[in-house]
Structure 1
Amino acid sequence: MRPLSLLFLTLFNSILGLSILFPVLGPLARELGLSELQVGLFSTGYALMQFLLSPYWGRKSEVAGRKPILLVGILGFSASFFLFALFAWLGYKKALSEPVLFALLLLSRLLGGAFSSATLPTAQAYLADITPRENRAQNFAVLGAAFGLGIIFGPAIGAGLAQFGLLTPVVFSAGLALLNAAFVGWALPESHRPEARPETTTRLSWRDPRVLPLLAVGLSISLASVAMEQTVAFL
Structure 2
Amino acid sequence: MLRVVTRMAHTSVSDIPSLTFLYRNNELEASKHPPLNGASPAYNDRIGLFCGDITTLSVDAIVNAANTSLLGGGGVDGAIHLAAGRGLRAECRTLGGCSTGLSKITNAYNLPCRKVIHTVGPVYDDIDPSKSEAALRSCYKSSLELAVQNGLKTIAFSAISTGVYGYPSNGAAHIACDTVRKFMENGDGEKLEKVIFVTFESKDVRAYNNIIPRHFPPAPGTENEATQERTAGAETDTS
TM-score (norm 2): 0.26
Flag the structure with higher helix content. 1
Greater RCO between the two (CA within 8 Å, min separation 6)? 1
Work out which of the two has the higher radius of gyration on C-alpha atoms and give 1 or 2.
1
TM-score (norm 1): 0.26
